[in-house]
Amino acid sequence: MASISTLGYMVLGVRDLNAWERFAVDVIGMQAGRRIPGRFLALRMDEREQRLVLEASGEDDMLAAGWEFDTEEALDEYVAQLRGRGVDVAAGSGELAEARRVERLFACVDGDGLRHEFYFGARRAAMSDAFRSGVLKGAFNTGRLGVGHFVAVGKDGGEAQAFYRQVLGVRVSDYIRGEVAPGATMEVAFFHAGTGRHHSVATAQIPFPFPKRIHHIMVEATDMNDVGLAYDRCIAAGLPIEMGLGHHPNDQMFSFYVKTPSGFALEFGFGGIVVDDATWEVKRYSQLSDWGHRHPVA
C-alpha cells in the first residue's frame, strides 16, 4: 500500500496579494520567491522553491493541498489505488507541474471543493539562493515533516473525516471534543502522514456555519523564542490575535493564532511532536488547549 509521505505545500487563493506579502514576509518570516505581479506569489520557508503558494482569487480560502510522495513508483501506485476505489483522479498538466515546481502530479477534488494534489519531485532552489528570513531567529521546522498543517472545516464534518481516513489514507493521531463557546462543542480529528508530523491535516465539526474551507493553517518554528517574537510583531502591526499564546494537549504545540489577510487564521507554533506508528496509541482528549489560547478581550 503506497501512502502519502507528508503535506509538502499549500495553495491559498487570496484577494489582497500585497497585504499577504507584508504579513507572510515581515510578520511571519517567510521569503518572497518568484511572482507574477497581481496574480501569483510563491513564498519560501526553506531550501524549496516554494512552500506556500498564493494565487490572486476572490475566494480568500485554501485552494489546494500538496501531498508529497518519496518516489515516483509510490505516487503511481497510490493514484492507481485511488482510481481502483472509484476516486476521480486526473493527471495534472505540465503547466500545472511547472507552477507547483514539481516533477509530476495528479489531483482530485473533495466534497468541500478543496483540491488534493499528489506529487513527486519538488524543486529546490539553487544553492546560491539559500533561504533567508528577515525576522526569524531560527528556522521553519519543515524538511521531512513538510510545510505544516491545515484544519479543514467540512460542510459535513463526518464526511470530511471519512474522506481523509478512507480515501486519502492518512492515519488518525487522536481526537479532541472541546467547548468552543458556552454550550457549543466541537469535535476535531487529527491525521498524520508517513513522516509523522502529529497532524498534517485535521477536520473540525464546528457547531455553526463557517464561511471558509479551513479554520487555520499552521507553520512551526525551530526556536521557541520565534513564537514570542512573532506574537510581538503581530501586536506591533496591529493584527487581530484570534487566540493568544497557549498549548495543545495532543500535539504539545506551543502557539498562538493570528487572523490572516484572508480572514482565516494562521497558527504559529513550536514544539509539535512526531508520531511513531510502531508505538502510537490513539487517544481522545476533552479540551483543545491545556492552558491559554484565549480569545483576547476587546
Q: What is the binding site for Fe ion (CB under 5 A)?
A: 218, 267
Question: Quick one: 48 or 248, whose CB is closer to Fe ion?
Answer: 248
CB of 291 to Fe ion, least distance (A): 16
Cell 493568544 belongs to 244
Q: Is 8 helix (H, G, I), strand (E, B) or coil?
A: strand
Q: Which residues of 20-34 are buried (b: 16+ CB within 10 A; e: fewer)?
A: bbebbbebbbbbebe
∠ CA(152), CA(155), CA(161), 5° rounding? 55
Question: Quick one: 120 or 256, whose CB is closer to Fe ion?
Answer: 256
CB of 228 to Fe ion, least distance (A): 18
CB of 54 to Fe ion, least distance (A): 20
CB of 239 to Fe ion, least distance (A): 18
Residues 136 and 29: beta-carbon distance below 8 Å: yes
Residues 230 and 270: beta-carbon distance below 8 Å: no
Question: Quick one: 68 or 267, whose CB is closer to Fe ion?
Answer: 267
Going across the sheet that includes 31-36, the strands are 31-36, 40-44, 52-56, 6-14, 61-69, 115-122, 102-109, 90-91
Question: Quick one: 107 or 202, whose CB is closer to Fe ion?
Answer: 202
Residues 173 and 280: beta-carbon distance below 8 Å: yes
CB of 151 to Fe ion, least distance (A): 6
Question: Quick one: 120 or 191, whose CB is closer to Fe ion?
Answer: 191
